Amino acid sequence: MKANQSNANVSNVKPANESLAEADLSKADLSKTSLSKAQLSGARRPEANRPETNRPRANRPEANRPETNSAKTNRPKAFALGSVLQYAALALLLAATLLPFYMTLINSWKHRMDIYKHFWGWPAHFYADNYVTAAGYLLPYMANSIVVTAGITAAVLVLSSMAAFSFAAYDFPGKGLLYTLVVMLMMIPGFLLLVPQFVLVKSLGLLDSYAGQIFPPAAVGSAMGTMLIREFLAGLPAGLLESAQLDGAGPWRIFSRIALPLAKPVLSVVGILTAISGWNNYIWPLVIISDEKLKPVILVLGTVSGTVEQGTGLQLAGYVFASLPFLALFLFATKPFISGLTSGAIKG
């Protein structure tokens, strides 16, 4: 009996153990299948001490990162090298511009033999006879040049300012066409106008006269002055001239009391440019002037004569002496000239 019971217990224990083993196997199979599905779906097994992927990143400004040491050291060197090259080029251009004036000035004080021996050097002693002779010979011709230049400048300022005021302040039929013709006059070469101007001056009986030297260059030069002054007046506030008209001011009062005072900078520019052109005008006086007493100084600079010992030094002294009036004019008119050139610039 006892043997039978023990056999029965053993038989009962075996199925229980077998059932437990089968349960463990089934759990292992389930874990394997779930693992394979996870691998196929692309899921990643969580690892220990791995930081979270959704953690916000620190906002580090990339644009404001400090530059590397190489960039800091290279930039000042490049900037300094560029500045040195720029100033060297400007100094070279300045020297090339001033060198002819310097050589003319120092050689005008030299004796003829000193020029041949020491052309580039400072004069051993100043030979003032060159300037005494040049001044005595050139003074009458410089007076002619002053009269002609002043007449051309005054005529250009009067004609161009009045024409520019008309184009800028009033509307009339044919305004655009007339202004186009004025601007086109600047595009015509001066040599093409020599023959018709000569025929006109001869028919008016103005050969060998101051008037013949003044009016044709003034008529041609007023085109540039009209354009410059008109552009300046067109930039003024539109209500300025209209308010003056509403207050009862006439055209002449508006022109003389409002337009001209405001246009002083551009008038100075036109005046200086016209004076330089009139003083250096060589072809037109050469064509119409045969009287020696009416010749401007530009025509006789090459005929300055003196003693054999003077020669080249005398001619250079004549060039310096003839340029003194314009040198003084430009020194006193530099400020209004620069302000007139920059009057239309953008301020920032």
Q: Among 117-126, 143-152, 326-335, which is the least confidently predicted range?
A: 326-335
Crossing angle between the packed helical segments 210-234 and 175-185, to the nearest 10 degrees: 130
CB 149 within 8 A of CB 298: no
Kindly indicate the confidence band of residue 310, based on its pLDDT and cuts at 50, 70 and 90. low
Predicted local confidence at residue 35, as pLDDT:
44
Q: Among 32-36, 176-180, 198-202, which is the least confidently predicted range?
A: 32-36
Who has greater pLDDT, 298 or 124?
298
**Domains of the chain by range and CATH?**
114-341 (1.10.3720.10)
Predicted local confidence at residue 327, as pLDDT:
83
- Rounded distance, CA 34 to CA 43, Å? 11
- Rounded distance, CA 43 to CA 333, Å? 87
Residue 320, both tokens: 């310096």
Instruction: Give the residue among 227, 219, 214, 216 at the shortest CA–CA distance from 178.
Output: 227
The one-letter code for the residue type at 113 is M
CB 155 within 8 A of CB 269: no
Residue 120 has phi, psi (to 5 degrees) of -90, -10
The long-range contacts involving 307-311, CB below 8 angstroms and separated by at least 24 positions, are 308/112, 309/111, 309/112, 309/113, 310/111, 310/112, 310/129, 310/130, 310/133, 311/112, 311/115
Mean pLDDT of the chain: 78
**In the predicted structure, residue 203 carries a pLDDT above the cut 80:** yes
The answer to whether the pTM exceeds 0.85 is: no
pLDDT in tens, 213-264: 999 999 999 999 999 999 988 888 877 877 887 888 888 888 888 889 888 8
